[in-house]
Structure 1
Amino acid sequence: MTGKDLFAALSFVRDEYVAEAETACPARRVIPMKTVRWAGALAACVCLLVGWAFAAQWMKADNLMSGSAEESTAAVTEEGALDGGAADDETAGALEEKFEESRAEDAEYAAGDSTVYGFCIEAAEVEQITVVSMPESAEHERTYTSRGKINKIVAYLNSLTLQADFPENPDEYCGMAYRLTLTMADGTEREFVHFGNMFLREGDGDWLRMTYEEAALLEELLGQIPSD
């Protein structure tokens, strides 16, 4: 269709239709720019207020959660401390009771009639002392030729308070033992076996029982006195 054809077609439209169309279409309303700016500012304020409200609620919830977590942690810590303290007290009490029982037994044996007081060794007659452990360990091996070191070991053996009559059976015990060999000036040897922090005997003689404190003292001495 050409422009001439369109113009020819419009020539057949009646005038009253044209007038009616012009009356039916209202004029467009123009919104002032000032109103648009005010509306935009109001919308921005509303968005800002909503954002602040959301942030405040989030911070409040976070603080509540942090406070609850800290309270829970403190409660658990306090409970653990109380339980640990009670456990430590119970352990200490049990150890103290066991120690008191051991001391009472030692006192009972010391009060008997089968007490042996030391071995009457003349330190001046001892020229060498060797110490080995059973089972053997190089860590516990000692050889003493120094007069001062020999005197300390001999003094220990002479100071022991031992019991020949006791209810324990050494054959039922196990543990490390020390064998101390004293070489005398005349070439003879005296051998002592220290076993299980409880028993001691010379050579093939009968076992004698010592207190735990005296038995533990030998290991302490060997730790303090290095080999020559």
Structure 2
Amino acid sequence: LHASKTLTAYLLCVRIFLPGKIIGGHEAIPHSRPYMAFLQIKTLFQKITCGGFLVREDFVLTAAHCRGSSMKVILGAHNIKERESSQQVIPVKRAIPHPNYQRKKPHLNDIMLLQLKKKANLTDKVSFLRLPTKTAQVTPGMVCSVAGWGSTGVKKTTVTLHEVEVKIQTDQECMFYFKSYYNESVHICVGDHNINKSSSQGDSGGPLVCNDVAQGIVSFAKQDGTPPRVYTKISSFMRWIEETMRSFKLQGPD
């Protein structure tokens, strides 16, 4: 019995970063989230995908653990397997993870800016998502949403953007499940453990949207993908985001 409890506790604390899924949601209205970015990433060992979102004509915000040796951003997509006329495929010129992000401690400062090789063409299907103020807060019980591409359950796949509504939880809720949940200054706890609605393993990098503002970035979860899930708190990194984008001149067209 003791061994069983130990194993259960271990599994609750294990996190993995894999291409993602939206659990308990539904297909989004095509192009209703024109800020969404689909990231195709090559690492030394594999190809993975992540989410992200456009914050300037030449910058996408995502999670630092989504970094690869080669990265490409697709904007204006609904069905990622079709060559939609709305899609803009832009290689990443420079990946800029937070300076205090460490792969050995991937749950802290899990935020990254991607500078695109050319600026996006803004249309009704490609546009920005508002960023929060430095003092912005979310409170337990607030209803927000998250979206992404990929599996929607065990052996269930989709190639279209899916979305789901999720509730903000207390910090204590995530502290119970995750030893690496730091506090409300860098993390947001999202998703009721009694309701199987959540982003999961690698909708990573996608935005937590509350009242049309990006408040969080999908970061990590339990191994089984069930809620709650931990998001990077964007407002705590606004100074770094603003200073980093300011330091790079807006790119013109190729």
TM class, shorter-chain normalised? under 0.3
Larger radius of gyration: 1
Structure whose residues are more often helix by fraction = 1
